[in-house]
Amino acid sequence: MVYKKAFLFPGQGSQYIGMGKALCEKYDIAKRTFEEADEALGFSLSELCFKGDLTELTLTKNAQPAILTTSVATFRVLQEKGIRPELMAGHSLGEISALTCAGVFTFADAVRLAQKRGELMQQAVPTGQGAMAAVMTRDIQRLEELCASVAEGEVLVISNYNTRTQQVISGHAPAVERAVELLSREEIKTKLLNVSAPFHCPLMEPAAKAFGEVLRDYDIREPQIPVIANINALPYGGADTVIDSLVRQIVSPVRWADSMTYLKKAMIKYCVEVGSGRVLKNMMKTNISDIPVYAFEGEEEELYKHFESCKFPIVSRAMGIAVATRNRNWDPEVYESGVVAPYKELAAMQARTEQEDRQATEEETGRAIELLLTILRSKGTPVEEQRFRMKQLFEDCGRTDLLQNFDDTMIGA
């Protein structure tokens, strides 16, 4: 497959007053998404996001459903535009956003789960007892050793492997402060993070345990799009792995750098940051510099142009697949009527669209699909290969909407 893309979903810290407002003013589907969130939560999350108080929005119990809602609203806009990913990954909370967009949770359930997750994580450690700090270093082994040496019986671990040069440490506040002081002496840049709790460390164990119990009351379905898990930087194995992965994620480090490396190995050509901000875009520049990332917020039009430039015109792609598919039928009459004639019609259609400098109409698109299926059947292409070829056609042309609605009975021997 060519031009594979991944969607990246941001986590906590990407919230700001006004998030989602412009999106809702421009797209009805986004507005309806925020209305669904308001109804699911029983209060106006949209008002809090659009014109509320930043201190209140930043509370973990509010920030998490707000970020998830903005991400899902953006995802739905992209779906309407026919832009569908081959892979998805989310940073911390963003993993739940990704799973929701993959169909694992209903949106209403996901909003409530995000709010509950935020509440539990906030309650796990009393305010002021935990802390987190970003550390600008490549020497992960040295940082691990330092955490162990200055912990002094308290919790202090690496909680985020964000990029090749940025890690985050998390644990008891005094231990984090000791580490920051020692790192500063070694002229290693650090920054204490403005967070309400020490996320992704063993201090979150009460939240993880309670969240696991909460998850068991929800319907969990198979992901329709592969989602990379934070805990191991590998795609989810299925619905039966969701609870364990999300529970472990709360107390385990976010392996974001490894997740981005997985995208590279999976031949992803570009990514879209789905939600507010461009934190993940900036991280990708450090991790895998040759995979471009379009932050939907602020780069919407550039994304649309890139998406269009990456698509094959459906008629010319149908012609290419027709030529590339092996012929297994040597009856000259069948070949003439079932291969040559349909191909000539495709060529005429392509010439017409090129002359008029336009994309194929929906009627022409439907006819191109019929003609390609006729050619495949006439060539004696096996049924499974026909299915593969049609999937290839739709994905290469950026028309996964056609794949979802494709009538499989049209394929035949």
DSSP string, 95-163: HHHHHHHTTSS-HHHHHHHHHHHHHHHHHHS-TTSEEEEEEE-S-HHHHHHHHHHH-TTS-EEEEEE-S
Neighbours of 151 (CB within 10 A): 18
- Cα 107 vs. chain centroid, distance in angstroms? 15
Cα–Cα distance for residue pair 106/109, rounded to 1 Å: 5
- Cα 196 vs. chain centroid, distance in angstroms? 26
* 81 vs 310, higher pLDDT: 81
pLDDT band at 127 (very low <50, low <70, confident <90, very high): confident
Bridge partners, 171 (sequence order) = 131, 156
389-402 residue pLDDT tens: 998 898 888 777 78
CA angle, 61 then 64 then 67, to 5°: 145
DSSP state of 6: E
Residue 202's Cβ-count burial label (10 Å; 0-12, 13-18, 19+) is: middle
Cα end-to-end distance, the chain, whole Å: 25
- Cβ neighbors of 354 (< 8 A, separation 6 or more) are none
Does pLDDT of 186 surpass 70? yes
pLDDT, residue 82, reads 82
Catalytic residue, candidates 46, 200, 306, 378: 200
Identify the H or E element spanning 394: helix 383-396
pLDDT, residue 174, reads 96
Cα–Cα distance for residue pair 322/343, rounded to 1 Å: 8
Catalytic residue, candidates 14, 46, 71, 92: 92
What is the β-pairing status of strands 227-228 and 156-161?
unpaired
Cα–Cα distance for residue pair 90/80, rounded to 1 Å: 21
pLDDT, residue 2, reads 45
Active site residue 200: yes
Bridge partners, 170 (sequence order) = 132, 157
- What mean pLDDT is predicted for residues 241-266? 96
Task: State what percent of residues in the chain have pLDDT above 70.
Answer: 99
Give the gyration radius of the chain's Cα atoms.
25
205-251 residue pLDDT tens: 999 999 999 999 999 999 999 999 999 999 999 999 999 999 999 99
Cα–Cα distance for residue pair 4/291, rounded to 1 Å: 11
Mean of the per-residue pLDDT values of the chain:
93
- What mean pLDDT is predicted for residues 88-110? 97
> Which tokens belong to 230?
């934070």
Does pLDDT of 310 surpass 90? no
Do 15 and 58 touch, CB atoms closer than 8 A? yes
How many residues are present in the chain?
Answer: 413
- Domains of the chain and CATH, by start: 4-124+202-310 (3.40.366.10), 130-192 (3.30.70.250), 314-410 (no CATH)
pLDDT, residue 1, reads 38
CA angle, 111 then 75 then 241, to 5°: 60
DSSP state of 338: I
- What mean pLDDT is predicted for residues 340-356? 94
- What mean pLDDT is predicted for residues 2-28? 91
Bridge partners, 334 (sequence order) = none
pLDDT, residue 3, reads 52
Does pLDDT of 413 surpass 80? no
Q: pTM of the prediction?
A: 0.80
pLDDT, residue 395, reads 81
Active site residue 92: yes
Cα–Cα distance for residue pair 189/184, rounded to 1 Å: 6
Cα–Cα distance for residue pair 91/48, rounded to 1 Å: 23
Cα–Cα distance for residue pair 33/39, rounded to 1 Å: 10
Do 111 and 298 touch, CB atoms closer than 8 A? no
- What mean pLDDT is predicted for residues 23-30? 97
- What mean pLDDT is predicted for residues 302-325? 87
Classify 43 as helix, strand or coil. coil
The dihedral through the CA atoms of 194, 195, 200, 204 has a sign that is positive
DSSP state of 255: -
Cα–Cα distance for residue pair 285/137, rounded to 1 Å: 16
Task: State what percent of residues in the chain have pLDDT above 90.
Answer: 83
Cα–Cα distance for residue pair 304/204, rounded to 1 Å: 40
- What mean pLDDT is predicted for residues 84-101? 96
Does pLDDT of 133 surpass 60? yes
